[in-house]
């Protein structure tokens, strides 16, 4: 198998279409073979496609599996004794969470990919970090994480000092925030949180206290479905945060627990970007053929990271549109796209949709 660690050394937005296509096709074909050999359920699924893996010439030909399968089945390609943690998708108490089983190798790849992707936006130094959330009860179980918990842990890599903005009852901890900002008044501050929680619990309180976060960089994702239901656009979200506390550098990101580490960050021009380590394909709902640029369809995500479970080629429950490839005005290579929302009748699920998770 190709050494994924060597690919993870390459800058995430530095490879053009043709070379990236070759890299992904090679690795994803090998991963498909690996999961066929090591996951009985996945092997049965692909058997129904009468797949001859030797005839695969590019990753578009690899059959996808729907993300919903991870709710119904324990899909893993490792021995249970090699599991170091289990990640769960967020949702309400009535919803069945997905379960994703992680070994040390996959965990290492996820962390390395996340570091490379985020560092390409903020550099390699660490920051004082204000987590726009409450301290999770989460970390009482170090072997099981929700999507929300995994997000906080992942972005904490970039912090040398961090605090939570909210108390456990979701009220603002203004005293600690003021002390934190005073201690780091001459530094850039890293902010991380989930979109809906920021809008519902953080933004109203920040408006009251007129907190100055003009030197902050915000990364946020998850929960857009609920904001859409409240008629809040991405532009309004950004404008309101700028008005209330001066945040200029705001990066939304698209990702999911089923492909942790493979996140798609919004650039300065407002476009989501696929890094070298993963990609998106827009499929037409009627026949799952590949949609054209500018055509709305269902988002398929592929990633070279999942080795401990067959999550490398997945059909999501999200609608999206490819905007272009290798020609975004921001200068980053790779596909850039936008997410249009959830598929009709798919359950509302996002890493911040239920704050108790």
How far is Cα 283 from Cα 113, in angstroms, rounded to an integer? 25
Domain spans in the chain, listed from the N-terminal domain onward: 4-342
3-state secondary structure (DSSP) of residue 276: coil
Instruction: Please tell me the predicted confidence (pLDDT) of residue 92.
Output: 45
Percentage of the chain lying above the pLDDT 70 cut: 89
Taking a C-beta distance cutoff of 8 angstroms, is the pair 67, 316 a contact? Answer: yes
Mean pLDDT (whole number) for 349-355? 38
> What SS3 string covers 171-187?
CECHHHHHHHHHHCCCC
Encode pLDDT of 62-97 as tens digits. 999 999 999 989 999 999 999 999 988 865 444 688
Pick 4-342's CATH classification: 3.40.50.720, 3.40.50.1000, 3.40.50.12780, 3.40.605.10: 3.40.50.12780
pTM over the 0.85 mark? yes
Separation between Cα atoms, residue 333 and residue 326, nearest integer Å: 4
Q: Is the pLDDT of residue 348 over 90?
A: no
pLDDT (0 to 100) of residue 356: 37
Inform me whether the pLDDT recorded for 318 exceeds 90: yes
pLDDT at 351: 38
Helix (H) or strand (E) holding 311: none
Q: How far apart are CA 13 and CA 110, in angstroms?
A: 17
């Amino acid at each position: 198998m190709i050494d994924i660690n060597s690919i993870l050394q390459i800058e995430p937005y530095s490879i053009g279409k043709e070379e990236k296509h070759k890299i992904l096709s090679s690795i994803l074909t090998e991963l498909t073979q690996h999961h066929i050999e090591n996951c009985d359920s996945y092997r049965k699924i692909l058997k129904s496609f009468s797949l001859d893996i030797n005839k695969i010439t590019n990753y578009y030909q690899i059959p996808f599996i729907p993300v919903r399968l991870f709710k119904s089945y324990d899909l893993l390609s490792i021995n249970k004794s090699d599991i170091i943690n289990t990640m769960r998708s967020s949702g309400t108490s009535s919803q069945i969470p997905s379960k994703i089983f992680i070994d040390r190798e996959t965990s290492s790849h996820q962390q390395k990919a996340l570091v490379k992707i985020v560092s390409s936006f903020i550099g390699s130094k660490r920051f004082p970090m204000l987590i726009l959330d409450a301290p999770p009860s989460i970390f009482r179980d170090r072997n099981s994480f929700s999507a929300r918990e995994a997000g906080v842990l992942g972005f904490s890599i970039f912090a040398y000092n961090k605090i939570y903005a909210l108390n456990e009852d979701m009220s603002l901890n203004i005293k600690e925030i003021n002390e934190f900002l005073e201690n780091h008044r001459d530094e850039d501050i890293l902010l991380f949180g989930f979109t809906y929680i920021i809008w519902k619990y953080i933004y109203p309180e920040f408006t009251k206290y007129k907190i100055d976060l003009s030197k902050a960089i915000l990364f946020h994702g998850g929960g857009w479905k609920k904001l859409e239901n409240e008629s809040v656009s991405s532009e309004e979200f950004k404008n309101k945060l700028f008005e209330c506390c001066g945040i200029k550098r705001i990066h939304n990101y698209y990702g999911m627990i089923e492909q942790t580490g493979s996140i798609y960050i919004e650039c300065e021009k407002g476009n989501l970007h696929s890094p070298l380590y993963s990609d998106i394909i827009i499929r037409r709902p009627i026949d799952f053929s590949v949609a054209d640029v500018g055509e709305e369809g269902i988002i398929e995500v592929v990633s070279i990271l999942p080795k401990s479970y067959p999550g490398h080629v997945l059909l999501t429950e999200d609608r999206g549109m490819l905007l272009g490839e290798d020609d975004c005005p921001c200068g980053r290579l790779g596909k850039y796209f936008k997410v249009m929302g959830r598929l009709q009748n798919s359950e509302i699920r996002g890493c911040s949709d239920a704050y108790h998770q």
